[in-house]
Amino acid sequence: MDWFGTGDAVENGKKEARSKTSRTAKTKTPLQYGEQSKDEPAYDLTDDRDRIKTVSEISSVISRLLDIDELKDLWVEGEITNHRPHPSGHLYFSLAEIKKGETYVIQAVMWKSYARELGFEPKNGDRVRLYGSVEVYEPHGKYQFTAREIVPCGQGDKHLLVAKWKEQLYREGIFDDDHKKPIPKFPEKVGVVTAAGGAARRDIENIISRRFPVEIILSPAAVQGDNAHTEIAQAIRRIDGMVDVIIVGRGGGSFEDLFEFNHPEVVMAVYNCKTPIISAVGHQIDTTLCDFAADISAPTPSAAAELAVPDIAELLKELAYLKKNLVNSLETRFEREHAELENLRLRLRPNRLAKIINTRQETAAQLALRLRNAITQKLRNERNELNLLKTGLELGNPKLPIKKGYCMVTAGGHIIRTVKDLKIDTEISIELADGTADAKVTKITEKK
């Protein structure tokens, strides 16, 4: 793996070197040549141009020569010297070795991005192991060891082991950010992987009961001692899927106390866990590989508990706020409806409409008047006609009595008014309302 893109750098360096060469040949060389005394035998620099190298060319060659696997990704041991703090945060120092009375020194650098993840502060005189590569800083023609890890030797092999694991797991992508899962906002159940009787458990339970008391499921494991890593890994696998979020951790301790949380078995259990994991190993300054693999890492178990559950007081505040919003929303709605109604009402009765109504009312009144006049006239006419008829009737319609049931007797075309005009067997005609009947007189009785 080409960590620092050294290959590219060399390529670029070469190109740059070449272009510089051509520039130098055109400008600088004739100038120097011009300064030569005429008496001295002048070297024909134009002919020798190929033999003359520029500084950058040499640097480039050195860089290429040192770009070999044997000087890459290796551990080197020695004593720190010439170390002084640099405001940039990069660590500049030398690594020295005394062999048969001779001191050998190589300059070394650790860039800020690596330096800030160191678990300790290197001092002059520390015997350490560096992991990194030999690289050339071309502009200065200087080679140096670029360290990516510094491990104190005095403290035994465990540091070295952790550094090795870290490097390896890092390469395998175990610490990649895109593998990290989001922590649920409102977990139903919180899992805790720690020692059953540890301070971490107490802290976590206290915080959770104070912030948002939910169900805690403890998956107990020894958190230090030679076999703790197996227990921790098992405890994680056992509780995976049973809870919404898992806190893995323990309280503070020495590097050795926390060591088991660096073990790849723990790291892989964290990595493979389907449930989101909050890691909280030791105190603020302690960092273990478990922290790197977890979905989120908290400085302490208490802080992990705070990350795991929301604060009920905050939730109540939010709820009160939402309640106000809800009531306001309806009130606002009502106000808006009122305003709209008022607006509609105003639009409903403009003068224009009143005028229309007036006009119509007038029209209606006129029509009513005309109607009344017309009907009065009509009635008057009818009454007149009726009166006329009545008069006519009174003047005498001779046949009117017939209609009432009387009859008219005629004989020989004359109306018979007295029996004296009749004899037995006189033929008479009796006129009734609906017709006439002919008859013969059979008997005559005169009133006395």
Contacts to another protein by CB under 8 A: 184-188, 196, 205, 208-209, 212-220, 235, 238-239, 244, 312, 315-316, 318-319, 322-323, 325-326, 329-330, 332-333, 336-337
* Closest separation in Å from C-beta 217 to another protein: 5
Specify the 3-state DSSP secondary structure of 310.
coil
* Closest separation in Å from C-beta 245 to another protein: 11
* Pairwise CA distance, residues 245 & 304, whole Å: 11
Residue closer to another protein (CB basis): 91 or 214:
214
Residue closer to another protein (CB basis): 209 or 272:
209
Residue closer to another protein (CB basis): 319 or 393:
319
* Closest separation in Å from C-beta 259 to another protein: 23
Residue closer to another protein (CB basis): 235 or 269:
235
* Pairwise CA distance, residues 192 & 208, whole Å: 11
Residue closer to another protein (CB basis): 31 or 344:
344
Angle among Cα 250, 305, 181 to the nearest 5 degrees reads 95
The type of residue at 140 is H
Residue closer to another protein (CB basis): 14 or 189:
189
Contacts of 175 (CB under 8 A, 6+ apart): 169, 292, 293
| The token pair that represents 281 in the structure block | 């190993």
Residue closer to another protein (CB basis): 333 or 349:
333
Name the residue among 237, 298, 242 with its Cα closest to residue 269.
237
Residue closer to another protein (CB basis): 319 or 369:
319
* Closest separation in Å from C-beta 187 to another protein: 6
Q: How far is CA 15 from CA 57, 119, 143, in A?
A: 10, 41, 20
Specify the 3-state DSSP secondary structure of 226.
coil
* Pairwise CA distance, residues 386 & 394, whole Å: 12
* Closest separation in Å from C-beta 339 to another protein: 12
Answer yes or no: are the C-beta atoms of 96 and 125 closer than 8 Å: no
* Closest separation in Å from C-beta 195 to another protein: 12
Name the residue among 95, 15, 21, 13 with its Cα closest to residue 62.
13
Report which secondary-structure segment, H or E, holds 189.
Answer: strand 189-193
| The token pair that represents 180 in the structure block | 């990290």
* Closest separation in Å from C-beta 178 to another protein: 25
Residue closer to another protein (CB basis): 196 or 393:
196
| The token pair that represents 219 in the structure block | 């998956």
* Pairwise CA distance, residues 314 & 370, whole Å: 81
Specify the 3-state DSSP secondary structure of 435.
strand
Place of tokens 């290429």: 64
* Closest separation in Å from C-beta 218 to another protein: 5
* Closest separation in Å from C-beta 328 to another protein: 8
